[in-house]
Chains A and B, each alone.
Chain A
């Protein structure tokens, strides 16, 4: 006996809906096995990891804080991936957006007023977009592989941030700690419901971005252009769309959203620049984008799930005494299973005997189908 993948005539709507759930179930199962090997009770470990971090209201606020950057970045990435453009460097665009957006509060720490925050957000978006423009330019002009260039620029951005906060932008009154000044109050992103928790405007940005990009992709000619060029570039050229312009559009849109996520994180959850401002949001957002089926609305849900893996990681560390790297394991397994389960959308699995032509009964069965 062997397993055979048989191509479906049409993509299966059913499995297109089910695939993320199957993937999640498989991830939880594999996670339970992993916990068992680590010597903890799988049931209570899974409870600690997935349930306990969201049992109280303030914890939901924490979830919103973690999910906001993931959703913002993933929504932008979904446009890239739909266009078949592989921006892996959102982490770098996130960092660079944070640096660009921090220019005003760091260089003019006394500047106050209602215009400060909008300016910061705008500069963060521009910074992220320009930084994403680099791999776009390299791809459009020289045909370089954007996967490599965008990824390598992540390390450049991270080291640039490191240098900035240890060097030129270090807080002179900060006892030599590698960090900038604390942003003043008009440079801080307002909290949504200060009474119940820390969640800030970043989550609202994420939701608005998701709705806007959903509208762009499903209702506008530009979204159609993205989908055509992504799925059949030659048909896109026949339609009169330019792949080079699309490379810039997709990269800079996703760069702007990653930059917005970066500056929102810094001015919201952190309040200053420091050597590390992201627990890998830019990379985790790739998983969010795919788990959300590259659909902005699906990405909102996926962002919350992946946000939970961060919180679960922290809980696992404090309650179970397991390294919080377990969060990375869960994220990796989730992506692995999502991509695996997507096979079911285009293929169905069939068991066949080796070699010999199929029996009449099986042929009949297939006929009936």
Chain B
């Protein structure tokens, strides 16, 4: 083994490969991270970023390839070994127990058996010194997502790692919280620590990172200095082709259009100790417009979707009105029959049954609305009609698949999402409610879905989009409202909305009074 110029690299990866079945999730990856740099790992969903870092952190075993740490060849067989080397990781999905305090959660991941009090004191000191104030005695269940991420970061820092891996850290933060995180990361860099920063947000990568490695379909397609690139050129590297921009013409005469979805004083008690109550939500979506609901994850969006879709019924039938009919007491089938269509956040297991074919998943949401066509007299299923309808949707939405009518779980996330959205669009619904329309969907497919939603609205339907992706909402919405702690702010017309105003509302600046928001801005 040669110890030459590589010695300066903290971590070097050569030819790392991971194969799942017939899919090469990572294909001979080469990557080098120097001491004291913030290194970006860019790529679309499914490009192999998570697989790569899981191998670096020892939670997956590579099929081939070598890893060098400070020039020494190492085998990272489990997360414990990674920690021992000095690799720390902050996951995208937190692994915290909601019913325990922050300090208890931290203690669980440390092996030294130190008393809780000592750990709490250390955590408190560390958190303040990095500008991430944290009360170690608070229950995780009571903390915001941003605060929970701090616990993960502090937990990671307490193990004094040399390399910190952050997986999509800003996807759950408001723009303001993200700024704070960037300060911390820059401080860590100045202390000589290295950071592997995984993201698909190009602006923040350009702003912070010293070098970037771009992955596409499991392969490294390039190394670059993100500061020398434009967001468009980075996107091209990630996607491999130009991404079509979404076109949105402003609507006219929207004030006189009829309101097709009317939500009045919608409240909901929390169903579990850790779910969010909805507090007096008012919203009206008119024919022809797209209303976006922004908000940090876990602020009641899921609860709101369930209430609007009819998966959970309302006491007051007038609190949800669809096409000027009271729908609060109707279940999801009843609301669909009024002309509404719904796309939930979770694809597998909620929007689609994973082990069922696409044609069966078409029947899933349309057995009642298209009952005459899809279901024969006596309750028999017209399989051939459904099959051809499914093929029509697959063609219209350009769903890529390996078999004529595969199981839902066999499709990639983006393709399944295209099918699920297409399934509803195919009905030409009068009201469309979508939760996270393009979460985990590649850029090309996302643009397709967004364009389809805009066109649906322009053809006279009311479209409500709940999303954590601010870029997306600014791209497609005619007005944006913000959900925070189960409350919904008044929709802000897109012409007046800025990232900063929306970000403040997401962080909990008083909702429901837009004059106040304007004042702060």
Contact indicator B381/A219 (Cβ below 8 Å)? yes
Contact indicator B350/A220 (Cβ below 8 Å)? no
Q: Name, among A10, A11, A231, A235, the residue most crowded by chain B CB atoms within 10 Å (CB to CB).
A: A235
B21 within 8 A of A: yes
Residues on B with beta carbons closer than 8 Å to the beta carbon of A38: none
Residues 222 to 245 of chain A near chain B (Cβ within 8 Å): 222, 224, 227-228, 231-232, 234-240, 242
Residues on A with beta carbons closer than 8 Å to the beta carbon of B344: 238
Of A219, A221, A363, which is within 8 A of B63 by CB? Answer: A363
Interface string of B403-429 (1 = CB under 8 A from A): 000010010000000000000000000
B256 within 8 A of A: no
B336 within 8 A of A: yes
Q: Shortest beta-carbon distance, B48 to chain A, in Å?
A: 16
Contact indicator A234/B367 (Cβ below 8 Å)? no
Contact indicator B381/A234 (Cβ below 8 Å)? no
A321 within 8 A of B: no
Interface string of B269-310 (1 = CB under 8 A from A): 000000000000000000000000000000000000000011
Contact indicator A356/B75 (Cβ below 8 Å)? yes
Contact indicator A357/B375 (Cβ below 8 Å)? no
Q: Give the interface SS of chain B, mostly helix, strand, loop or mixed.
A: mixed
Closest chain A residue, CB of each to CB of B309: A238
Closest chain A residue, CB of each to CB of B61: A357
A355 within 8 A of B: yes
Interface string of B345-387 (1 = CB under 8 A from A): 0101111111110001001110110000001001111010000
Contact indicator A240/B333 (Cβ below 8 Å)? yes
The number of residue pairs between A and B whose CB atoms lie closer than 8 Å in the complex comes to 97
Of A222, A235, A367, which is within 8 A of B353 by CB? Answer: A235
B232 within 8 A of A: no
Q: Please, how many angstroms separate the alpha-carbon atoms of A231 and B350 in the complex? A: 11
Contact indicator A366/B63 (Cβ below 8 Å)? yes
Chain B: interface size category: 35 or more
Q: Please, how many angstroms separate the alpha-carbon atoms of A242 and B21 in the complex? A: 37
Residues on A with beta carbons closer than 8 Å to the beta carbon of B75: 355-357
**Residues A238 and B19 in contact in the complex (CB < 8 Å), given A228-B356, A357-B62:** no
Of A224, A238, A356, A360, which is within 8 A of B311 by CB? Answer: A238
Q: Please, how many angstroms separate the alpha-carbon atoms of A363 and B355 in the complex? A: 29
A141 within 8 A of B: no
Residues 277 to 329 of chain A near chain B (Cβ within 8 Å): none
**Residues A235 and B352 in contact in the complex (CB < 8 Å), given A219-B381, A228-B364, A358-B64:** yes
Q: Shortest beta-carbon distance, A43 to chain B, in Å?
A: 42
B17 within 8 A of A: yes
Residues on A with beta carbons closer than 8 Å to the beta carbon of B23: 9
A173 within 8 A of B: no
Contact indicator A9/B332 (Cβ below 8 Å)? no
Contact indicator B332/A240 (Cβ below 8 Å)? yes
B331 within 8 A of A: yes
Residues on B with beta carbons closer than 8 Å to the beta carbon of A357: 61-65, 75
Residues 193 to 251 of chain A near chain B (Cβ within 8 Å): 219-222, 224, 227-228, 231-232, 234-240, 242
**7 residue pairs A–B, Cβ–Cβ below 8 Å:** A220-B380, A231-B353, A239-B364, A239-B367, A360-B64, A367-B19, A369-B22
Which residues does A use to contact B, with CB under 8 Å? 6, 8-11, 219-222, 224, 227-228, 231-232, 234-240, 242, 355-358, 360, 363, 366-367, 369
Closest 3 CB pairs of A and B: A240-B333, A235-B353, A232-B353
Which residues does B use to contact A, with CB under 8 Å? 17, 19-24, 61-65, 75, 77, 309-311, 331-333, 336, 342, 344, 346, 348-356, 360, 363-365, 367-368, 375, 378-381, 383, 407, 410
